[in-house]
Amino acid sequence: MTFSTKVKERRHKGGSEMSRLRPAVEQSPHPAAPRLTRSAASQARLGGPGPPKELAPGPYGKQRRKHTDSALAQELSQMRVSGQESPLGHALDGVNMRHASRSSTQNDQPAPSPPVKEGPRARVKSSSRGGLASVARLLKLGRCKNIVVVAGAGISTASGIPDFRTPGTGLYSNLERYDLPYPEAVFNIDYFSECPQAFFSLARELYPGRHRPNYIHYFIRSLHLRGLLLRVYTQNIDGLEKMCGIPEDKLVEAHGNFTTASCHLCYTPYPAEDAKVAIMSGDVPTCSFCAGTVKPDVVFFGEDLPQKYFLHSEDFPKADLLIIMGTSLQIEPFASLVNTVRASVPRLLLNRHAVGPFLKTPLRRADHLELGDLLDSVQRMAHLLGWSAEIEELMRSQGAIVSRVD
């Protein structure tokens, strides 16, 4: 039975894992894209994505309400003015950001985000710089000392690695010659069993060593060097965070990496360098024990997330600033991590488009966003903090190419 036949049969069953993974049809020009589950087993351990953590009953419920009127929240309230009043221009045009947005979910499924409202009062201003200025001020005041960074493929595009979803240029678009039943099938273990070459083609693009870290990676490392970085949670499998010098204990590669390899059937370890040589030369590495196909230990849909991922239960309640950059927040359970910081904790989104909870209007009052080119936003953030020269010198010392935004 072919993979396509399996997919058709499972669609008729209506609750199968494969049908849940298929992207839904868009309902509006800029809707929140459907979320995909990276690890069904891991989600079961976590109790499913469920409601956002600030609304869910649990050990942090009372604590979050208590912190709503904390000194940090008061500082944010004093800094925040409407987009029309601010000389810098804040992240939302005329939207009242003093009231938190709340949503509910049913049956442990993520609630669909409402379509983005059109009109001058709801349209996000991609040129707004108020979010950067507000968060930079908090950092200068010493108010943020446990920063968690959530990163996606967008932080690596400045290194020459395409993101996954951009039409025409994204990595998924480059796999069209394999006639995938849907783009994410390249990370489906059943599809891999029948057609490993689709993933191996992607792996040849992402294997560490082909690309160099960029300014964004070194900005994150600068947070570490200043003792401000609690942890980086990355969806990336390109290894650039580690290559730029972010220590292993500060890094959670939630979707695995190429450091190790194993058989996808019996999980027998396989020499990672031998797997790389075979894949880069167009061959298919096979297990010497069961003859199954070997793959790098990148997490596929339905596979367990690495144990280190579960540090989030300690890190996110401890965070005093969350920086989200270069991610579409579509893959669960990773996407829901951004909802697990306390309600009073500032969340800064640096992205080309608003995603996840930042699609809601009004935003909760501790939320900030800066939309547009990510490299430009990060460089301006470093300039506001006075870190630009140090980051550029750090890059030169490691042979990285320094690009400047005037």
Q: Which of 211, 217, 255, 264 is catalytic?
A: 255
| pLDDT class of 403 with cuts at 50, 70, 90 | low
Q: Are 35 and 335 in contact (CB under 8 A)?
A: yes
Q: Which amino acid is present at 216?
A: I
335 vs 351: CA distance, rounded Å: 14
More confident position, 195 or 58: 195
The DSSP bridge pattern shows strands 331-332 and 36-37 to be parallel
22 vs 11: CA distance, rounded Å: 10
64 vs 37: CA distance, rounded Å: 27
Least confident piece of the model among 14-18, 247-251, 298-302: 14-18
Q: Which residue is associated with the tokens 């949503």?
A: 103
| pLDDT class of 237 with cuts at 50, 70, 90 | very high
196 vs 201: CA distance, rounded Å: 9
User: Vertex 332, ends 331 and 338: CA angle to 5°?
Assistant: 95
Hey, what's the torsion of the CAs at 140, 146, 147, 148, to 10 degrees? -170
Res 4: pLDDT? 55
| pLDDT class of 399 with cuts at 50, 70, 90 | confident
| pLDDT class of 131 with cuts at 50, 70, 90 | confident
Write down the mean pLDDT value for the chain: 74
Mean per-residue pLDDT for 298-323?
Answer: 95
143 vs 345: CA distance, rounded Å: 11
CB atoms within 10 A of CB 108: 11
Q: How many CA atoms lie within 13 A of 359 on its CB side?
A: 20
Using DSSP's 3-state secondary structure scheme, residue 98 falls into coil
Mean per-residue pLDDT for 257-275?
Answer: 95
Hey, what's the torsion of the CAs at 266, 238, 234, 293, to 10 degrees? -10
Q: pTM for the whole thing?
A: 0.69
CB-based contacts of 188: which residues, under 8 Å, 6+ apart? 18, 21, 300, 301, 302
Mean per-residue pLDDT for 4-18?
Answer: 46
Q: Are 315 and 342 in contact (CB under 8 A)?
A: no
Res 177: pLDDT? 67
Res 225: pLDDT? 97
36 vs 183: CA distance, rounded Å: 12
The phi-psi region of residue 198 (left if phi > 0; otherwise alpha if psi is between -120 and 50; otherwise beta) is alpha
Residue 249 has φ and ψ, to the nearest 5°, of -75, -10
Complete edge-to-edge strand list for the sheet that includes strand 347-351: 251-253, 229-234, 147-151, 321-325, 347-351, 367-371
* Maximum mean pLDDT: which of 39-43, 98-102, 165-169, 206-210: 206-210
CB atoms within 10 A of CB 399: 7
CB-based contacts of 170: which residues, under 8 Å, 6+ apart? 162, 163, 164
More confident position, 117 or 315: 315
Tokens coding 326: 């270069």
Beta bridge partner(s), residue 37: 332
Q: Is 353 a catalytic residue?
A: no
Q: Which amino acid is present at 134?
A: S
Q: Which residue is associated with the tokens 């083609």?
A: 201
The phi-psi region of residue 160 (left if phi > 0; otherwise alpha if psi is between -120 and 50; otherwise beta) is left
251 vs 216: CA distance, rounded Å: 15
Res 317: pLDDT? 97
| pLDDT above 50: residue 126 | no
User: pLDDT tens, 39-96?
Assistant: 444 343 334 444 333 333 333 333 333 333 344 444 444 443 333 333 333 333 333 3
The DSSP bridge pattern shows strands 269-270 and 331-332 to be unpaired
Beta bridge partner(s), residue 209: none
Instruction: Give 297-359 as a DSSP string.
Output: EEPPBTSPPPGGGGGHHHHHHH-SEEEEES----EETGGGGGG-S-TTS-EEEEESS--GGGG
The DSSP bridge pattern shows strands 294-298 and 256-263 to be antiparallel
Strands in 44-143 per DSSP E: none
User: pLDDT tens, 137-170?
Assistant: 999 999 999 999 999 999 999 998 877 666 655 5
More confident position, 17 or 312: 312
Res 385: pLDDT? 97
187 vs 208: CA distance, rounded Å: 18
